[in-house]
Chain A
């Protein structure tokens, strides 16, 4: 008699041994699942520590033996063989930064995700406030439009957007990376739902205190919306840091505009056998910020990512 659907704390008297047997089976299943889920993360981390030989022969355990090996590229540069002996771990990570402008990619990633989020809030917040708290002609129509636009995934209309940007000569610019995401109908919808729960009295009180509508938004509504905003920030940052499809389309060739996913893809494109280690190091560096942030603020992240479930 397993107890899958009853909450754990409810205690229906059952013989204890059966319970633990069921419990054990559950954990076995969950652990097997965890192993499969973690497999690529294990591979990624492990390879980023290993020398090319260890990767090829699949030896060295998780961390590799960290034995020195000869860096052929260094020999090619005509240096002495003794100077070209490197520790795999250090070699992988330094190569990741040296061979490709990884710092530049990371910088681009930060600039793009940050500006997207900033503009999204700048546009969505006032609109959400107006839709939630102001009465004006056409409000229902605007909200209807928001609901309709929720149906459109931006990736799906990437092609016409690309054509528009190409016509404007904006491809291969930061603008191209940011513009399609400046409007987040989801953000408007979310904030509106949140503002609906803010009592009208608060706004009336602010008006009585002599605040204008603009300062109400930034001084009254914004602070009350911080929790929702934070969740939305996580939602937005995760989506755009990880996005590959859109940058792939609008950035062609110009490496100085590459976002981290594009940079990694480029790395893969010209990877030969020796570069597996550095490539995995790059992947680790790109994946790490979000994973680490997620580990630290788990609840907030899950809340933010599953926000779309509130609809």
Chain B
């Protein structure tokens, strides 16, 4: 079931186009991530969905209703902001009460001092609701504090709490973890995912961090230059990128790209390397061959199709070691993931030989689109592949 659907959304600021006709359907209860480099329009798209920004054209539908003309608060969405946007003069309790007060209380009930007396029962219900939410988030002991007295992680929770109390149809999150330190960020990833599972509500999550997108989402939309390049499950986006920009953006360290060319039979070549699978379509000419670091390994000298080069840098991450190797006479650099025991011995300037795991190379045409490769029957190439 579709909870939210965005169709043909366009947006430009002045003459600068920011979004060029975005179509996106978000299923009910889904964790969808919008990921892309800064300036790709992901935040703008989220703000259009929230109603904080009006699209230049296109339609926003929530729960079957077009909401273009509906004010943000009436869309029944909740948003968690990058800076948390907690009201600094109000305690956590009051912060979390705010959306409920504005929604449920009449003007008289919102009066300072007098309000709590006039609408006693409603106030008690609101406080009760806030307490329940606070307990879920384990911030019930912080309710009397002001945001200024909280740590980054606690503020994060308070902001989440303010979003949760309304029981919205969807949570919108604009880079909510980017203000936290590295360790806490990783911890909060799993906590957010857990929260999503227990709430069973739609999450729309914006981030520039591909790792967050890969770890948390049900589906992720990779955005660039105001377009969605690819939408799919993290596994598919990583292993089956349809565009060279997606391949480059998703995955750390970045995918290795080697310049190559497509021969008449549709085989991509780069130096000695010839891919056995052939492109079914696509013009003959130059292509890029993408190889992920984990699909490369060290090998003995003389292995067919191996690339040789000098080690120029070594990144030791403990569990893995990434070797940066200068290949093809120093014109290209490859990053290779090796096991610690293999990488330990490698020294700078040492010549190493690299081979690839067959069937994993990704080939992209000049139009940046992925070329479909099929295992072709032309025997003479099959033997080397």
Contact = CB atoms under 8 A, between A and B. Distances in A.
A11 interface: yes
Contacts, number: 13
Interface in A1-20: 10-13
Interface residues of A, number: 4
Contacts of A10: 52-53
B71 interface: yes
A57 to B, nearest CB: 54
Contacts of B69: 13
Contacts of B52: 10, 12
A28 to B, nearest CB: 27
Contacts of A11: 53-54
A5 to B, nearest CB: 14
Interface in B32-69: 51-54, 68-69
B343 interface: no
Contacts of B68: 13
Interface string A85-114: 000000000000000000000000000000
Interface in B1-58: 51-54
Contacts of A12: 51-52, 54, 71-72
A251 to B, nearest CB: 50
A110 to B, nearest CB: 47
Nearest to B13: A9
Q: Quick one: which of A10, A11, A12, A13 has the most chain B CB within 10 A?
A: A13
A7 to B, nearest CB: 12
B253 to A, nearest CB: 35
Nearest to A10: B52
B193 to A, nearest CB: 32
A13 B72 CA distance: 10
B46 to A, nearest CB: 15
Contacts of B71: 12
A10 B54 CA distance: 9
A17 to B, nearest CB: 14
Nearest to A15: B69
A44 B68 CA distance: 54
A11 B68 CA distance: 12
A13 B69 CA distance: 6
A273 B23 CA distance: 79
A208 to B, nearest CB: 34
Interface of A: 10-13
Given A12-B54, A13-B68, A13-B69, 10 more contacts: A10-B52, A10-B53, A11-B53, A11-B54, A12-B51, A12-B52, A12-B71, A12-B72, A13-B51, A13-B54
Q: Which 8 A-B pairs have the closest CB atoms?
A: A13-B54, A11-B54, A11-B53, A13-B69, A12-B71, A13-B68, A10-B52, A12-B52
